[in-house]
Chain A
């Protein structure tokens, strides 16, 4: 992932920002049902796990040696990604959120997402491939507060109604998973 972002017009960049800021606001306001409406029907939502890999001697002195990709067990790997979900899974999470017995979120966590570094990597008539970073502050009553940090590798489609999320891969910046859950909507 070393390519420069494609040239965007200020207008296009604003459109992307509008989409992401709106999405973040919906999630922080716990308007998850409205968030679901931003997803495409065949959405893929993946959270690779992140492994402490052995340094490969043959890569010494080169950038590959430290590449983030080597640490990821993603959807195509034969490892164990943390999450591999589709619209059904995500809808189940949203459904759970509004049930009386979602005890881990009772009372609900207070969250704040900051989205930045929005880069359009590739675009054609149908799809935009976009990188962006997030910091998600998470305060669950009765539990330690924590910060989630990560990169989202998104594919968006664009039609008259604006953007839809077709694919999201969330690269979480963790060493140990010392968070109450990684089952959030990042």
Chain B
């Protein structure tokens, strides 16, 4: 059946066709129109501190090696040999001088350049090795240690792409003088769902909390969220949700880290540490952002930051109906190891593949994909209209701001998504 992307998302993005999540043709357009043209998160500098360090990453379905070269610079290369296409790197992370391809042992430096072709010794015509390195990701930039790559050589600078999201990200990052650290290899969870639903969930869907998670999130917690919660869209597709706590709030109720079980059960050492961070927060990030108690953030297209439980996540598509959902536990780099170990459980107890809360989310995401694949529902688009037009500028917070029940974050996401898909559909 023929359709145009314009027909899938209406003008104000209040009605969205189920095909957006389930149609293979839409997925092919997404690869080119979104994943080929956006800044995509690759990893954090704390994962590759020394020359030769590498981690694996993905840009949509494209496997990428992110590495620090001998020169100290960061390089991103597609993990596929120029000879016959095998992956040249098999470990999740490590340190090396060379990636050696299993098939015929071509070897590559960590910056992706081709070092040796064993077969050439016996041949008269020597190939030009300088032209045969791994395919480079043409743009790689980082901000606050967060490394992104793009396949679009002409994309705007990363800082401009992030725009006012930097104000909200800094409310977290700048709390810690030594920055943050990503721990270990990411948890890679394969879920039968479309990649956009986890993204939407983290972009601003605070409102499913007391319902989907009623077994664990009490009505009182949710009422506090509704009372103090703000939802912000800095640019279509980017969003932040947080609580702005009253000025006289006791430190335990506003401090980052105290919301999870790691902070609560972590004992004196952990709590003293968190209290100290909060005591310096106003000085470090200003009085307004010191009162911010984060919930979730989204960076277009598929990076999420769960501030309340301190995990970064990427929703890597694997076809319309599958996602490889990566998540990292993130801790302050300057904390003692005992504190880091306690705080990493803020994430893992509730979120990630073993988390008590996120098992409900992943189930909801799988079921939504089924709902989006039901026959005879083409003329019954999903409703995205809650709170239409209720967002407004705010005197102190950049972006458009509203209560958390307003679904403008999702409408903005899908309006951008539609326009970008339409651009490739029309060959722009």
Contacts and interface: CB of A to CB of B under 8 A. Distances in A.
B187 to A, nearest CB: 6
Interface residues of A, number: 42
Contacts of B96: 54
Contact of A144 (B186, B192, B352, B359): B192
Interface string B175-199: 0000000011111111110000000
Interface string A37-63: 000000000010101111100000000
Q: Which 5 A-B pairs have the closest CB atoms?
A: A79-B184, A54-B94, A80-B184, A101-B214, A54-B91
Nearest to A52: B92
B279 interface: no
Given A80-B328, A177-B187, A182-B354, A52 B214 contact: no
A85 B348 CA distance: 9
A83 B351 CA distance: 10
A79 B362 CA distance: 24
A89 B184 contact: no
A92 to B, nearest CB: 6
Contact of A85 (B92, B187, B349, B359): B349
A183 B363 contact: no
A93 B214 contact: no
Contacts of A179: 353
A116 interface: no
A104 interface: yes
B348 A80 contact: yes
A54 B37 CA distance: 32
B119 to A, nearest CB: 23
Given A143-B366, A177-B353, A183-B355, A86 B265 contact: yes
A99 B357 CA distance: 13
A80 B261 contact: no
Given A79-B184, A183-B354, A96 B265 contact: no
Nearest to A54: B94
A183 B348 CA distance: 10
A103 B184 contact: no
Contacts of A51: 92-93, 184-185
Interface in B239-264: 261
